[in-house]
């Protein structure tokens, strides 16, 4: 099935399903991630108040990536603050918005996050993910430094990192859906896949200030976490295809994410389709909306009902985010009947 595609407002370019095919391959672990370009703004857009944050003195590049993420603003997030105002037990939400170090247990990630009392404005802080049971800072390499004790940890690699993410992302609470449960139910970890493989782009990380002399850049992960707020990233979660059945065109959309879509109550994914004749005239249409109730399960497909059969279908994808009044277009494709 060949198609023309425009993602996130870029100009149309001709593509075959080479991209989709390669991403769906069993031995592929990750999406081809680009620097995040979110079209839906956080509120506030970045964490400005950094009192008590000390890691950035040596890891300035990591800090710069992290401060503009939903993890960084998790405590001061205006949407979050509004959500918990009327909750009878708001403290039940705090544990994942200001968690103590989840790797502090000697056995690995804690079964359940616990809220910390200090430095709450830092949200999901560096220590939340990197502090170990003996106070050492954990990383994929355990490189020595004069700034603190360091230790190598599998939890900082694709091998076991998803268990750390799941401490919070397996929880159903408020508008949040515990999508990590889908990831483990589908046994993706056994296939070599991980949360960071899709949400944290690989990069060469320069040595931190204070690292041992002669330290060379090492493979790492961007802390500018990819989310559906970025149209190009959201588009990677879907693989559309076109066929004819029962005398009508049928658009099928496969879930290529590691969990159900969407994973947040209030978020909607809308598909709008126009059936086109050989001369490009509109001869039919159809639409489909995915939300927390009518979600697209992991590894499953859903069909967009259409009213006619045509030579092609123009398919648009719109993201309705609770943070924004107007939907954001993330997909604009022309699916050709009989293509390869």
**pLDDT in the model for residue 30:** 55
Closest C-alpha to 257, from 270, 241, 238: 238
Q: Percent of the chain scored above 90 by pLDDT?
A: 75
H-state helical runs in 73-179: 78-84, 91-97, 126-130, 161-169
Q: What is the pLDDT of residues 38-62, one digit of tens each?
A: 999 999 999 999 999 999 999 999 9
Q: What is the mean pLDDT of residues 92-100?
A: 96
| C-alpha to C-alpha distance for 156 and 170, rounded to whole angstroms | 19
- Could you tell me the pLDDT band of residue 128, with boundaries at 50, 70 and 90? very high
Express as a percent the part of the chain with pLDDT over 70: 89
Q: Confidence class of residue 146 from pLDDT cuts 50, 70 and 90?
A: confident
What confidence score (pLDDT) does residue 106 get? Answer: 80
Q: What angle do CA 78, 79, 82 make, to 5 degrees?
A: 85
CA dihedral 258, 221, 178, 290 (to 10 degrees): -50
In this prediction the pTM is 0.88
Residue 147 has pLDDT above 60, yes or no: yes
Q: How far apart are CA 216 and CA 226, in angstroms?
A: 26
| H or E element, residue 251 | strand 248-255
Number of CB atoms found within 10 A of residue 205's CB: 19
3-class secondary structure for 218-235?
EEEECCCCCCCCCHHHHH
Mean pLDDT across 283-289:
97
What secondary structure letter does DSSP report for 99? B
How buried is 275 (Cβ within 10 angstroms: 0-12 exposed, 13-18 middle, 19+ buried)? buried
- Helical residues (DSSP H) of the chain, grouped into ranges: 18-24, 60-66, 78-84, 91-97, 126-130, 161-169, 180-185, 195-199, 231-235
Task: Point out the least confidently predicted range of 1-15, 53-67, 133-147.
Answer: 1-15
Residue 25: its pLDDT value, please?
34
Confidence at residue 88, expressed as pLDDT on a 0 to 100 scale: 87
Domains, in order of start, for the chain:
3-23+231-336 (2.60.40), 41-221 (no CATH)
What is the model's pLDDT at position 21? 33
- Number of residues assigned to the chain: 340
Of 225, 249, 199, 242, nearest to 5 (Cα)?
242
Reply yes or no on whether the pLDDT at 12 is more than 70. Answer: no
Q: How many other C-beta atoms are found inside a 10 Å radius of the C-beta of residue 120? A: 16
User: Quick check: 11 pLDDT over 60?
Assistant: no
Buried b / exposed e over 83-110, threshold 16 CB at 10 Å, is: beeeeeeeeebbbbbbbbbbbbeeebbb
Q: What is the mean pLDDT of residues 328-339?
A: 90
Which two structure tokens, joined as six digits, stand for 338? 């009989």
Residue 18, helix vs strand vs coil: helix
* CA atoms of 325 and 328, how far apart (whole Å): 10
């Amino acid at each position: 099935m060949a198609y023309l595609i425009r993602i996130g407002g870029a100009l149309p370019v001709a593509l075959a399903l080479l991209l989709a095919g390669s991403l769906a391959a069993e031995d592929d672990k990750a999406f081809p991630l680009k620097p995040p370009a979110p079209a839906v703004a956080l509120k506030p857009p970045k964490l400005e108040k950094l009192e008590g944050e000390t890691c950035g003195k040596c890891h300035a590049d990591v800090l710069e990536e992290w401060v503009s993420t939903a993890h960084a603003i998790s405590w001061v997030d205006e949407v979050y603050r509004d959500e918990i105002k009327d909750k009878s037990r708001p403290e039940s939400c705090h544990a994942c918005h200001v968690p103590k170090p989840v790797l502090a247990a000697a056995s690995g990630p804690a079964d359940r996050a616990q809220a910390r009392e200090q430095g709450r404005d830092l949200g999901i802080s560096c220590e939340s993910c990197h502090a170990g049971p003996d106070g050492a800072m954990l990383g994929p390499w355990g490189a020595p430094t004069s700034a603190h004790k360091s230790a190598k940890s599998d939890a900082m690699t694709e091998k076991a990192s998803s268990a750390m993410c799941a401490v919070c992302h397996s929880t159903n609470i408020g508008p949040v859906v515990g999508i990590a449960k889908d990831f483990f139910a589908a046994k993706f970890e056994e296939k070599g896949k991980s949360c960071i493989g899709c949400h944290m782009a690989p990069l060469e990380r320069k040595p931190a200030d204070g690292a041992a002399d002669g330290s060379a850049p090492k493979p790492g992960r961007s802390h500018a976490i990819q989310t559906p707020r970025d149209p190009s990233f959201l588009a990677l979660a879907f693989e559309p295809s076109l066929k004819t059945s029962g005398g009508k065109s049928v658009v099928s959309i496969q879930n290529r994410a590691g969990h159900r879509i969407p994973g947040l109550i209030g978020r909607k994914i809308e598909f709008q389709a126009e059936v086109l004749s050989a001369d490009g005239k509109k001869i039919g249409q159809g639409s489909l909306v995915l939300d927390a109730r009518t979600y697209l399960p992991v590894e499953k497909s859903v069909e967009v009902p259409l009213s006619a059969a045509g030579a092609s279908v123009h398919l648009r994808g719109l993201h309705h985010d609770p943070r924004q009044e107007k939907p954001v277009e993330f997909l604009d494709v022309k699916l050709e009947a009989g293509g390869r």
